[in-house]
Each structure stands twice: as C-alpha cells, then as structure tokens.
A = this chain, B = another copy of it.
C-alpha cells in the first residue's frame, strides 16, 4: 500500500533533481515514493520489490541509478553497516544509526547539535570533514518502536 507523493514531496523531488540538471521521471518518482512510504532503511532489493508493485517493468539497474542520483543530489542518505547491503534513508536531519543485533533493523537516533559539535572538535587541525557517520550496534529492547 504505497501512497502517492504529497504536493510538498513532489516539489522537493523536482527541486533537488532540477538543481543538478536532472529530470523527474516516472521511475524516479516511484522509487522516491517507496522511500517515503516506509521509512525503514530498505536495501536496494527491498526498494526494488516494493517499487515493482507499482511499476512492474522497473529494472533493478534503474533502482540503483535512481538511488545513486538521489544520494548525489542530497535527497537521501546511504547507510552502511559492516559489509551488509547498503540501505537508504530519506531522513536528512543529522542523526546517528543504531543497528539492532537481534533483528538487523536500523533505527535513527537523533543527534543534538552540541554532540555533533563536540565530535567535530576531536579532529586535529588540517582535517576537514564533510561527512560524519556514527553507528551503534547492539540490542534494542522494544517491540515495534522508531522505524524512522
């Protein structure tokens, strides 16, 4: 059950793609819709399965392409844990990830600005970081919480 994009979401897609000289296509819209519909950090393959329900002809290569495009224009973040399949996350606010050892599920953990700042402060002079990734790995004792 995949909702259509809201007006706002469609505009966001439109704008982000436009900024880097790319177009909204039905496939991109489908993939983006899938990402927003269920914010559970799906793998490429999961995105592929879900998007196919809506657009049966869609190919896996296109899903890879779309996701790469979205990452490139800042619409979506990649999440890697160890060497497992890459997952994707449309939460753009600064946050860390927690991977539940038991379920494999990934939870977003809010990252307060002061913590982010203290983290940046550990870089010696001369190190200039564009991206910081923080990931926890452990157990979450909770039935069905934050899947965002």
Contacts and interface: CB of A to CB of B under 8 A. Distances in A.
| Copies of this protein chain in the complex | 2
A80 to B, nearest CB: 6
Contact of A133 (B124, B127, B137): B137
Interface stretch (A17-25, A26-34, A47-55, A115-123): A115-123
Contacts of A121: 115
Interface stretch (A6-14, A59-67, A104-112): A104-112
Given A109-B124, A115-B118, A118-B115, A129 B80 contact: no
A136 B129 contact: yes
B83 A129 contact: no
Contacts of A139: 127-128, 130
For this complex, into which size category does the number of interface residues on chain A fall?
35 or more
Interface in A121-148: 121-124, 126-142, 145
Nearest to A98: B127
Given A82-B80, A109-B124, A119 B131 contact: no
A138 B134 contact: no
